[in-house]
Amino acid sequence: MSNHGEATVFTDVQVFDGTGSDPFPAEVLVEGNRITKVADRIPLARLTRARVIDGGGGTLIPGLVDAHTHLGFGSTTEHTSRRRDEPDEEKALLVAHAGRVMLDHGFTSAYSGGNRLPRTEVAARKAFAEGWMPGPRYKAASWEGTAGMREPGVYTFPGTEGRPSDPRSVSRFVDEMADVGVDIVKLSLSGESAVVQGTSRIVQFTDEEVAAAAATARARGVWLTAHAHAAESVKMAVRHGIRAVYHCTFADEEALDLLAAARDRLFVAPTPGIIHANLYEAGSEPEPGMEVEATAKAVRQVVPELVSRGIRVVPGGDYGFAWNPVGRNARDLELFVDWFGFTPAEALRAATYLGGQVMDMGGELGLVREGFLADLVLVDGDPLDDIRILQHADRLTAVMKDGALHKAPA
């Protein structure tokens, strides 16, 4: 990655600034790690000793943001990890590898969907931020807390019947993860039929347990994420102030109304990428009870309803599985268009402007605007004409994060 001490100017580009407005011709000057000028012409006096990148009429966009990715699952478009049982030391290297692959594909920020090794998440966040290891700006997450707070990787999704409510164990889990230093603690408020048949509609935590988690999270200054397919799990997430709600698959009218009332404080990531992969690329027929088709149908109905209510819907498709690897992240944008009725500009706005808000950096990240952080991607072509070109790393001729060029034009 090049030193971000030198100035860089992008010329002959169409700027998609992240707001959703039409691209416009401009030159963009980066000094240090900030965008310092967006203008028809950068004054020559500002260009002294600046590196000039001729965009060749391509499109300059803000760096992309993924709101649900798993660097620790071990699979990328360059390496497949089917068993996911590597030793911890190897898993740490896989996290580093996946971070670099994300950056290669124009994703300069990521909001983690969970990792069985939260200390590795925290270490990766530090290394990516310091710039000596290539990877996105990163919000690090816990492993996915499940009913009864079993160890990471044990997902039986037994529900709440037949066990006593145990708010103290849930609160302790949040405390322990905060001690590790994560930004996000994730709770599986519903089951997952793709893992344990028929459990997506079964709530896994009591209201008392989620209230305890929320109180501890507020006290410790960490965010909560909810894995929530079942309608009641979505309602539980909203009632207790959970910041990011994943899936929302079977949300009913009451859940939609609650989400709408809380739209200024939460985000929804419906994860079409993994649904598409489960449908078409998992390699075998889904077994009965896995609800793959029902999930696909439901999410295609619920997301337009979310959007119509002004809820911030963001891309992030559970990337990291062998059949849904990191590096394929931009497919979510295509699915936002094909499945949910977004325009390409709306999908790209969700991945940039709203992405900056997901990262809690909306005042300085996610737009091509003076004063904003210089996370930029130069695209060979117009993604508003064909959103699919963002899935091809060779069409991303420059990738800049924090003012430093991770990838420069040949």
CATH number of the domain bearing residue 393? 2.30.40.10
Q: Tell me, yes or no, whether 231 and 254 share the same domain.
A: yes
Q: Which residues contact 18 (CB under 8 A, 6 or more apart)?
A: 61, 62, 348, 349, 352, 353, 356, 366, 367, 368, 369
Residue 198, pLDDT score: 86
* Residues 311 and 181 both lie in one domain: yes
Distance CA(150)–CA(145), nearest Å, equals 8
36 within a domain of the structure (yes/no): yes
Number of structural domains, the chain? 2
- Gap between the Cα atoms of 224 and 371, Å rounded: 30
Residue 107 falls within a domain, yes or no? yes
Residue 157 and residue 109 in one domain: yes
**Domain limits at 152?**
64-329
> Whole-model pTM?
0.96
Kindly state whether residue 350 falls inside one of the protein's structural domains.
Answer: no
Residues 70 and 57 in one domain: no
Residues 122 and 95 grouped into a single domain:
yes
Residue 335 belongs to some domain of the structure: no
Residue 220 lies in a domain: yes
- Give domain status of residue 275, yes or no: yes
Q: Name the amino acid, one letter, at 325.
A: P
C-alpha span between 404 and 410 (Å, rounded): 16
Same domain, 311 and 279: yes
Both 154 and 302 in a single domain? yes
- Which residue reads 């449908």 in tokens? 279
Provide the 3-class DSSP secondary structure of residue 338: helix
Q: Is 275 helix (H, G, I), strand (E, B) or coil?
A: helix
Instruction: State which of 311, 329, 347 marks the end of a domain.
Output: 329
Are 79 and 207 within one domain? yes
| Cα 174 off chain centre by | 21
Same domain, yes or no, for 272 and 369?
A: no
Residue 222: give its domain's CATH number. 3.20.20.140
Residue-level pLDDT at 284:
64
Same-domain pairing of 142 and 117: yes
pLDDT values of the chain reduced to their tens digit, one per residue, 410 residues: 555 568 999 999 999 999 999 999 999 999 999 999 999 999 887 788 899 999 999 999 999 999 999 999 999 999 999 877 889 999 999 999 999 999 999 999 999 999 999 999 999 999 999 999 999 999 999 998 876 656 676 677 888 888 899 999 999 999 999 999 999 999 999 988 888 888 898 999 999 999 999 999 999 999 999 999 999 999 999 999 999 999 999 999 999 999 999 999 999 999 999 999 999 988 765 666 688 999 999 999 999 999 999 999 999 999 999 999 999 999 999 999 999 999 999 999 999 999 999 999 999 999 999 999 999 999 999 999 999 999 999 999 999 999 999 999 98
Residue 342 lies in a domain: no
300 and 316 co-located in one domain:
yes
Q: From residue 279, how far is each of 66, 82, 115, 331 by CA, in Å? A: 21, 18, 24, 14
Residues 319 and 171 occupy one common structural domain: yes
Q: Does residue 213 form part of some domain?
A: yes
Of the candidates 329, 351, 382, which is a domain's last residue? 329
Q: Give the end of a domain, one of 281, 312, 329.
A: 329
At 381, the amino acid letter reads: G
